[in-house]
Every structure is written in structure tokens, then in C-alpha cells.
Amino acid sequence: MTRDDGLGPVSGRVTVQDAIYLKLRDALLIGRFDPGQVLTMASLAQGFETSLMPVREALRRLAAENALEIARNGSARVPPVNLARLSDLMRARVAVEGLAAELAAQQASADNLAALKANIAVHEAAAAGGSVGDMLDANRAFHFLLYRAAGSDVLFQLIDTLWLRLGPYMRLLSVHVEPLMREAEPQAYTRHHHRILAALTERDAGRAREALVADIRGTEDILRKIIATST
């Protein structure tokens, strides 16, 4: 493992197992690992500078969330990508995140709207600067600001789990988008976010859901093309 994966020594302020779990979960969530990549306990323990036992328990927790697949030898694998899994995941996202967008339109505060507007500026600056990592981080932050504004802990937790399973697909997306960033205008990556923000500002739940679904489907279309050409 390399430190570019976002892994490193863990703090003693939380249990070692919890710290490893959280670091791995975040790395999976943001697409640090390739689809199908094998993560051995030995390499992870070396990267975290810890023993095998807390690594084993952290991997089991992530497997229970369907974020990893555990082999008989104890190694873990990032789930592979395919069109059937993508369709299933995106269908669930449309249902759950669409509802969250509707709720956010009904009750988003002025602070929520200001945070979303500021995020769009950060997103476009990252795109203009050619940083695909920062751009995808900003994209994720926008969505979770939106879903937090919905005011539903249950929906938020469901969405967090869905995005965890989306990690391998985000990895594909980042590799695909990086060479295209030099050609596209920064606003090309935030047009749906502008529409979502406008709908929230006008308290239009239907338009908020429509714009959010268009954002999800646009990502799905890109991923379908990537997967189709790589298989």
C-alpha cells in the first residue's frame, strides 16, 4: 500500500480497529481503489503500522456493508464493476436521493443554500484547475450538503451506504474524466447542481428531484459507456 491511498499510522484517540475502519471506508467512498483490487491484511497492517487483528475486524465490518468481498485466505477485494450492478445501484440512488432532494427543497435553510452555492464555486475552481480529485471531492460534498439539508437521519444513512458501494465506479469515473477536463468548461460539471440549487431556492420539490435524477442518470450514462468499452 502507498500513502497516496490515504492510509497511514492511526491515532490512539480512537480504537485501532475503528480508526482503520474509518480510514478504509473513506478511501473506498472516494474511489481510491480500483475495481477488483485485492487488499491483503499484511499490506494493510504494514501501511497502518499495526497488527493483523484490527485490520481483520475492520475488513469484516466493511464486508458487512458490501463495500468489500472477503476471500477464504482473509484478503479483501474491492467489488468488480458491471452493468447489472450499476443499474441496481443507480435505481436505488434515484429512489432514495430523489426523495432527499424533495425534502431538502421543502426545508433547506438560508445557511444550507449558502453552503451549496459556495460549494459550486469550489467545484468549478477545481475543474478549472484540472484537479479531478478535488473536483470529485467537491461533487460528493455538494450531494451530502443537499442530503443533510433534507433533515432525515435515516435517508442520510441509506445514502451514505449507497455511495460507499459507488466507490469502484467513482474510481472509473475519475480516470475517465481527467483527460477530458482540459477541454470542457468548468460549468459543464456543475450544470445539474445549479439547477438543483435554483429549485431549492424556489422551494420547488419536483424540480429539485428532476435535476437530481438528471445528475445521477448523466453519471450512469458515462459509466455505462466506460464499462461497455472495457469489457
User: Span 27-42, mean pLDDT?
Assistant: 92
List, by residue range, all CATH 1.20.120.530 domains of the chain.
83-230
Give the pLDDT confidence of 7-23 residue by residue, as tens digits. Answer: 666 555 568 899 999 99
pTM of the model: 0.86
**How is the chain classified by DSSP, letter by letter?**
--GGGT--PPPTTS-HHHHHHHHHHHHHHTT-S-TT-EE-HHHHHHHHTS-HHHHHHHHHHHHHTTS-EE-TTS-EEPPP--HHHHHHHHHHHHHHHHHHHHHHHHH--HHHHHHHHHHHHHHHHHHHTT-HHHHHHHHHHHHHHHHHHTT-HHHHHHHHHHHHHHHHHHHHHHHHHGGGTTTS-GGGGTHHHHHHHHHHHTT-HHHHHHHHHHHHHHHHHHHHHHHHHH-
User: Is the pLDDT confidence value at 3 over 60?
Assistant: no
Instruction: For domain 3-77, give the CATH number.
Output: 1.10.10.10
Give the pLDDT confidence of 173-223 residue by residue, as tens digits. Answer: 888 776 665 565 666 779 999 999 999 999 999 999 999 999 999 999 999
How does the average pLDDT of the chain come out, rounded?
90
User: Span 14-39, mean pLDDT?
Assistant: 91
List, by residue range, all CATH 1.10.10.10 domains of the chain.
3-77
The domain defined by 83-230 folds into Four Helix Bundle (Hemerythrin (Met), subunit A) (1.20.120)
Least confident piece of the model among 96-110, 145-159, 166-180: 166-180
User: Span 145-169, mean pLDDT?
Assistant: 96
Cα 53 off chain centre by: 27
